[in-house]
Structure 1
């Protein structure tokens, strides 16, 4: 009986320390990157902070509200990961106010990352169209590829 308890304790300790590994969770930013959108003033052309911003994205099954953020100078927005060549993004500065419609066109490439992360999509040849222009007045392109979330890809003028 003494050896049985010892054997059970060794088995439990072995199971405790053998669980998990580096590839279990994709936590080092290796997943599909999001587009970084920053804001500029229409009158000065300089970077600005937006008091409040509501963002919605159409991922193919209707608009999904991403919520409201306050006092921000940029926003990260996930794009579609299916085979669609564009993503429609909607911006508002008031909850019930007018809404700007921006279509972001791109081409995609995929690469295998790890068992935990799976496949990563990168976006290339980004260009944007302002379909509905209130409250966003115009667009300015930034970096035209998304490999990580460090650089701004699109500037919105308010």
Structure 2
């Protein structure tokens, strides 16, 4: 019976030691970066803060509402990761207001990161097209590649 308790204790300790923190998926920013969008005043061209901004994205199976950002000067938006050459993003200033459609075109490059994180996508050659104006009046591309989330990739003029 002593040996049986000893064997159980060894198995239990072995299970505790084998559970490590290395299996956490992409906690240190190794995942696919998001597009950073900032806002400008259409008259002055200076960066501005919006009272509210509602964002929705079409990831290929219909629009997905990303919610509202209040008192914001920029927003991070995930793009499609399914080898599509574009992502449609929808912006509106009020919940029931008019909606602008912006199509973001790009090419992708994939890099293997780790077994837990998988493959990381990079977006290059970003271009944007304002398909439906109002409330967005103009779009301008900032940094034309997305390798991290530090630099602004798209400026929207309201």
Under a length normalisation based on structure 2, what TM-score does the superposition of the two structures give?
0.96
Match of 1:30 in 2: 30
Q: CA RMSD in A?
A: 1.1
* Cα offsets for 1:18-52 (capped at 9, x unmatched): 11342442111111111000011112211111111
Tell me, yes or no, if structure 1 residue 48 matches structure 2 residue 48: yes
How far apart are 1:61 and its partner, in Å?
1.3
Tell me, yes or no, if structure 1 residue 147 matches structure 2 residue 147: yes
Match of 2:63 in 1: 63
Q: Distance in 2 between matches of 1:91 and 1:150?
A: 21
Is contact 1:36-1:77 (8 Å) kept?
A: yes
- Matched positions, count: 158
Task: Give the unaligned 5+ runs of structure 2.
Answer: none
Match of 1:10 in 2: 10
Tell me, yes or no, if structure 1 residue 138 matches structure 2 residue 138: yes
How far apart are 1:7 and its partner, in Å?
2.2
Q: Distance in 1 between matches of 2:25 and 2:76?
A: 21
How far apart are 1:4 and its partner, in Å?
2.0
Q: Distance in 1 between matches of 2:75 and 2:57?
A: 13
Q: Distance in 2 between matches of 1:87 and 1:71?
A: 25
Match of 2:81 in 1: 81
* Cα offsets for 1:105-136 (capped at 9, x unmatched): 00001111100011111000001011111011
Under a length normalisation based on structure 1, what TM-score does the superposition of the two structures give?
0.96
* Cα offsets for 1:48-101 (capped at 9, x unmatched): 111111001111111111111111111010111112110000000000100011
Secondary structure of the residue aligned to 1:22 is helix
Q: Distance in 2 between matches of 1:149 and 1:110?
A: 17
Task: Give the unaligned 5+ runs of structure 1.
Answer: none
